[in-house]
Amino acid sequence: MSIISWNCRGLGNPNAVLNLKFLIRKYKPDILILYETLVHSNKTEELRYVLGFDSCFTVDREGRGGGLAVFWHKQSNCSISNFSQNHIDMEVVDARRGTWRLTGFYGYPGGSRRRDSWNFLRHLSHVSNIPWCIIGDFNDILSSDEKKGRVDRPNWLINGFRDAVLDSGLIDIHMEGYQFTWFKSLGTDRAVEEKLDRAMSSEEWCQSFRDARLECLTVTSSDHYPLWLVRDPVRIYPRSDRKFMFENAWLVDSEFDSIVRSCWQNTGVDGVVQKLDMCAATMSQWSKDNFQNLRREIDKCHKRLERAREIIFPSSKR
C-alpha cells in the first residue's frame, strides 16, 4: 500500500489537476490525501472520477480557505472514522496485521494558533489505541535544521511542537532524499525552505511496518511538495490489471486521426463495444511504438526539477 499526501493549494488550478494525474499515473497510490483544496464536495467528486478512485470523502472549505479531501481504492479496505476542518481519520483493515489508523492532518496556518494545533494533536493521540500513522502539513518544524533562509524560527515554537509530538507518543518517520517540503521565493536572496510536511507514527505502527519508506516528490503547481509514504515497498509496483488510458498527446500527432478511422472501419466486428476494444488495443500498441520516449522525457524533466531544487537555494543562511 502507498499513500500520497499533498497541500495542493487549490484544486481550481488546472495545473494542480495535471500534477495529480501525473502523480497517480507514476506512483499509483492506494490513498490520496489533499489539504487546502479550496473547493466543495461536488468538485472533489468530479476529481474522483477523473483520477480513477473508487471512493472519496470531503471536508468542505470554510470561507475562502481550507478544505480537505481523501480518495481511495476499494482494495485499501479503509473507512472514515472521524473528521474536522483540520483532519480526516481513517481505519485501514489489514488481513495479516490487523486494523490500523491513518490520519491526514492540517495544522492551523496562523502563527497565533500554534498552541491550538499542538493541543489538537495531543487530543487525536487519545482517540484510539490501535497502531497509528499521521501524515500531512503540520505547519511546524521539529528542529532548526528543518529551516533554511531568512530569520530562524523561535525556539519556543520548535520546542512547543516537539513537546506535542512526544506527548502524543509519535515517532518521526525518516524521509529519504530532499528534506524540505515547503518553499518561498526560490532563486532570490529572500528564499526560504522548511520541512512543514511529514509523516509520524506510533511505536506499534513502526513495529508492524518496519520497511515503510517516505519520500518528498516534485510538482510545479504548489509551494508544498507531495509526500509519498510506501507502507510495504515490495508491493508498490504496477498492477497487472492495467486499464486503457487515453493520452491527450496523441491528439497532436498527424497520424492519429487516420489510425482511429482505419481501425474503426476495418475491425471486422459489428458491435460498438467490440469496435471500441479493438481501437483501444490498436491505439495502445501505436502509442507503445511511437510515444515511448514521451514518458521518458517527462521523467527526465522531473529529475531535472529534483536536481534543480538541490542547488537553487543560496548557499548562505539568511
Rounded distance between C-alpha atoms, residue 33 and residue 27, angstroms: 14
Is there a single domain that holds both residue 256 and residue 222?
no
Is there a single domain that holds both residue 77 and residue 127?
yes
Among residues 88, 83, 77, which one has the least CA distance to residue 231? 77
User: In the β-sheet with 132-137, what is the strand arrangement from edge to edge?
Assistant: 78-84, 87-94, 98-106, 132-137, 197-201, 171-172
Q: What is the pLDDT of residue 257?
A: 84
Is there a single domain that holds both residue 208 and residue 291?
no
Is there a single domain that holds both residue 147 and residue 115?
yes
Rounded distance between C-alpha atoms, residue 205 and residue 198, angstroms: 16
The angle that helices 114-125 and 155-167 make with each other, rounded to 10 degrees, is 10
Is there a single domain that holds both residue 232 and residue 256?
no
298 belongs to a structural domain = yes
Residue at grid coordinates 468530479: 46
Is there a single domain that holds both residue 101 and residue 51?
yes
Q: What is the pLDDT of residue 151?
A: 82
- Using alpha carbons, list the distances in angstroms from residue 247 to 132, 218, 221, 240, 280: 38, 22, 21, 20, 11
312 belongs to a structural domain = no
Q: Which three cell numbers stand for residue 106?
A: 492540517
Is there a single domain that holds both residue 185 and residue 107?
yes
Q: What is the pLDDT of residue 288?
A: 74
Rounded distance between C-alpha atoms, residue 78 and residue 80, angstroms: 7
70 belongs to a structural domain = yes
Q: What are the average pLDDT values for consecutive 10-residue runs of the chain, which has 318 residues? A: 95 91 93 95 93 95 89 94 96 91 94 93 96 97 92 91 97 92 88 96 93 91 94 56 70 80 71 76 77 69 74 51
Length of the chain in terms of residues written: 318
310 belongs to a structural domain = no
Q: What is the CATH number of the domain that holds 93?
A: 3.60.10.10
Q: Which three cell numbers stand for residue 255?
A: 497520424
- Using alpha carbons, list the distances in angstroms from residue 210 to 73, 87, 213, 219, 231: 24, 25, 9, 28, 9
Q: Which three cell numbers stand for residue 137?
A: 502539513
The CA-based angle 304-310-315, given to 5 degrees, is 140
Is there a single domain that holds both residue 120 and residue 232?
yes
Q: What is the pLDDT of residue 237?
A: 42
Residues 6 or more apart whose CB falls under 8 angstroms from that of 311 comprise none
**pTM for the full model?**
0.76
Among 196, 213, 239, identify where a domain stops: 239
314 belongs to a structural domain = no
Q: What is the pLDDT of residue 281?
A: 80
Count of domains in the chain?
A: 2
For the CA atoms of 4, 7, 8, 12, what is the dihedral angle to 10 degrees? 120
| Full domain range(s) for residue 280 | 248-304
